[in-house]
Chain A
Amino acid sequence: MIDFTTEQLQRYSRQIILKEVGVEGQEKLARARILIAGAGGLGSPAALYLAAAGVGHLTVVDADVVDLSNLQRQIMHQTDDLDRPKVESAAEILRAVNPEVRIEAVRERLCAANISGIISGHDFVIDGTDNFPAKFLINDACVLAGLPLSHGGVLRFGGQTMTVLPRRSACYRCIFRNPPPPEAVSSCSEAGILGAVAGMLGTIQAAEAIKHIVGSGTLLTDTLLQFDALSMDFRKIPISRQEDCPVCGTHPVITELQDIDWPTCPTGCAT
């Protein structure tokens, strides 16, 4: 059992007094290793809340540098951070929020060749990436590695998320077989996003990660949560594992990871 210091007990007191977290849950959080893919609009709130909650180890993966257009929603980065690698400014603010958390900054773009090595050794993965190939790659890699994952996506005023416990609940590919053709996806000029909407979704993902680590509540497994912040309607869509899922089905065709060619937005309409 961890002997928490007086300062630690005080720092985490408001969640330790929750029956569903408690001292035992705080210990589980302190021992947990969570990976956040993307230090953007979803990864920022998720990482900030996970650091504040006392998750022992956070790995943040992102290859980009901070752009002025990111600051409207990517709240780990500040005006002074322009042109800095996002993982650097992320590591700095996360350490400032909670010096007890070990932060690993990985300045790489996840791809078939590196993802298995990068996600290995973690307890949970938060997908905060901004493109379909990355989302499918993260899903496939997590399913193959048996790693729980929170999928998330936002656009304009809407968001959707689901939590995947590989081979126990529906995965992203059970529902969405392949990335949509590029022409079916909104062009960058149409792909606005309200910062607060990214914040809503990223915090849901952080809450799912914490619930999974402490073992409390009901996860968004076999459930796609969608919301529209304009009407503030939330709906849960029941989903289920598909026998013919190419990655977690009975006869999987995806047994090793492959990169998906897909044109990326040149102006960087990142989440």
Chain B
Amino acid sequence: MTEELPAVSRNLVGTGCPMNLVYAKVELAKLASGQILEIILDDGAPVANVAQSVQKEGHALLKREQRTDGSWSVLIRKG
């Protein structure tokens, strides 16, 4: 079991749809296949939509964890 440490973390709290997905894709584009990106997303539509969209693009959703302030930490492994 490899340790799931993100190579990059980007806080997208306050960034609405679809720009949060755009920024997530920008960060993913900079990574090599297999590297992990952490994004912090607002609760509700952002976490639901972005998590679903990156999976449809061939990336793996490793973890979704709600933080104490209600936002979500999402770990994505680049496909």
> With contacts A1-B29, A1-B30, A24-B29 known, is A19 near B22, CB below 8 A?
no
List B contacts of A16 (CB < 8 A): 22, 25
Knowing A9-B23, A19-B57 touch, does A14 contact B18 (C-beta < 8 A)? yes
Give chain B residues whose Cβ lies under 8 Å from the Cβ of A10: 19, 22
Rounded to whole angstroms, the CA-CA distance of A14 and B53 in the bound complex is 13
A22 interface hit (Cβ, 8 Å): yes
Counting contact residues on chain A (CB < 8 A from B), the size range is 10 to 19
Query: Please, how many angstroms separate the alpha-carbon atoms of A237 and B33 in the complex?
Result: 40
Residues A17 and B29 in contact, CB atoms below 8 Å apart: no
Count A/B pairs, Cβ under 8 Å. 30
- Could you tell me which residues of chain B, from 1 to 37, have a CB within 8 Å of some CB in chain A? 18-19, 21-23, 25-26, 28-30
User: Given A19-B56, A19-B57, do A13 and B29 touch, yes or no (CB 8 Å)?
Assistant: no
Distance in angstroms from A7 CB to nearest chain B CB is: 12
Chain A 38-87 interface residues, beta-carbon cutoff 8 Å to B: none
**Mostly helix, strand, loop or mixed at chain A's interface?**
helix
Decide: B22 and A9 in contact? CB cutoff 8 A.
yes
Which one of A1, A17, A22 has the highest number of Cβ atoms from chain B below 10 Å of its Cβ? A17
Question: How far apart sit A13 and B18, CA to CA, in the bound complex (Å)?
Answer: 7
Contact A22 B56, CB 8 Å, known A14-B18, A17-B18: no
Does A4 belong to the interface (CB within 8 Å)? yes
Chain A nearest Cβ from B79, distance in angstroms = 11
A23 within 8 A of B: yes
Closest chain B residue to A10 by CB distance?
Answer: B19
Distance, CA A16 to CA B26, complexed state (A): 9
List chain B residues, Cβ under 8 A from A17: 18, 21-22, 25, 53
6 contacts between A and B (CB under 8 A): A1-B29, A10-B19, A13-B18, A13-B22, A16-B22, A17-B22
Q: List residues of chain B with CB under 8 Å of any chain A CB.
A: 18-19, 21-23, 25-26, 28-30, 53, 56-57
**Apart from the given pairs A13-B19, A17-B22, 7 other A-B contacts in the complex at a CB distance below 8 Å:** A1-B30, A4-B26, A9-B23, A13-B18, A14-B18, A22-B25, A24-B29
